[in-house]
């Protein structure tokens, strides 16, 4: 049995178990994570977020992310906002601008006066090898053809430190997320699996989005998915530089100054409860 002190948090309903592993020494085995993530017999969460001592001089902390299925992943935008609020509220940092190190690289978290957090998510990557996406296209094409379940879809792909694919739909409420999500997530052209976005464009400054996250399923919100959707659609000439993204759990503001700049995401985060468990 492992004794664990934790905090439960969420960003627009995308929920997390947050653990300060600087003060504990927990080995995050996949089986332990799957037990903790179970919503009937465990704590229940989309992702587990772990605070660790920095492994690089440029960062104040290392930020590790595990999906509910136990796999460690590179990035989680909603989690990053909760991470910033967690370390600030507990006096672990006095900084208002916090550099953290993830397996996907360094990211910057900015605490806002209104309680929201802005995350500089990094420069999006569109070339197939960088996503990764197995394709005959070696260049960063605006669209790619993807064969799924006997049907051909025209998609966009991007990495925001983690892989994303975007399907444009007429109405997200009618999108076949439950069927297509798992098929696309594990499509053989995505060797590390992929987060699957379904986007409805309202106008050039507003979209609706649902995301089927790899290793989790559909979530109430996905910060990196919102960034990927805006970046892909902006390159396609469909959106402006600043866009409101409405997800099932609420709204994020995404701003991308230019293609060589870090994409910025701003939104809320909340603490639900704190607790101890032995599992």
Instruction: State phi, psi for 114 to the nearest 5 degrees.
Output: -85, 10
H-run or E-run covering 40: none
Cβ count near 207 (within 10 Å): 25
| Cis status, amide bond into 132, omega within 30 of 0 | yes
Q: Which letter does DSSP use for residue 125 in this model?
A: B
76 is catalytic: yes
CA distance 5 to 43: 12
From 82, 222, 227, 269, active-site residue:
222
CA distance 208 to 255: 16
CA distance 36 to 59: 28
* CB burial of residue 277 (10 Å; 0-12, 13-18, 19+): middle
From 76, 82, 227, 269, active-site residue:
76
Place of tokens 């967690």: 86
Taking alpha carbons only, the member of 109, 62, 79, 124 closest to residue 258 is 124
Active-site residue list = 76, 222
């Amino acid at each position: 049995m492992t004794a664990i002190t934790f905090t439960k948090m969420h960003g627009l309903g995308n929920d997390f178990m947050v653990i300060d592993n600087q003060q504990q020494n927990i080995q995050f085995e996949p089986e332990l994570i799957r037990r903790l993530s179970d919503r009937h017999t465990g704590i229940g969460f989309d992702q587990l977020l772990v605070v660790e001592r920095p492994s690089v001089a440029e960062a104040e902390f290392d930020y590790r992310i595990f999906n509910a299925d136990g796999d460690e992943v590179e990035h989680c935008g909603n989690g990053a906002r909760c991470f910033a609020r967690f370390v600030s509220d507990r006096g672990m940092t006095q900084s208002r601008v916090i550099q953290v190190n993830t397996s996907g690289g360094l990211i910057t978290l900015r605490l806002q006066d209104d309680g929201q957090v802005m995350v500089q998510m990094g420069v999006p990557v569109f070339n197939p090898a960088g996503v990764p996406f197995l394709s005959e296209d070696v260049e960063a094409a605006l669209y790619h053809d993807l064969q799924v379940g006997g049907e051909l879809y025209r998609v966009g792909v991007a990495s925001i430190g983690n892989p994303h694919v975007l399907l444009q739909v007429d109405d997200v409420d009618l999108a076949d997320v439950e069927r297509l999500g798992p098929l696309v997530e594990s499509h053989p052209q995505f060797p590390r699996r992929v987060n699957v976005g379904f986007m409805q464009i309202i106008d050039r400054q507003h979209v609706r989005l649902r995301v089927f996250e790899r290793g989790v399923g559909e979530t109430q919100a996905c910060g990196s998915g919102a960034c990927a959707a805006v970046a892909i659609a902006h390159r396609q000439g469909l959106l402006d530089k600043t866009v409101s993204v409405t997800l099932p759990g609420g709204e994020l503001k995404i701003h991308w100054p230019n293609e060589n700049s870090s994409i910025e995401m701003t939104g809320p985060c909340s603490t639900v409860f704190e607790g101890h468990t032995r599992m």
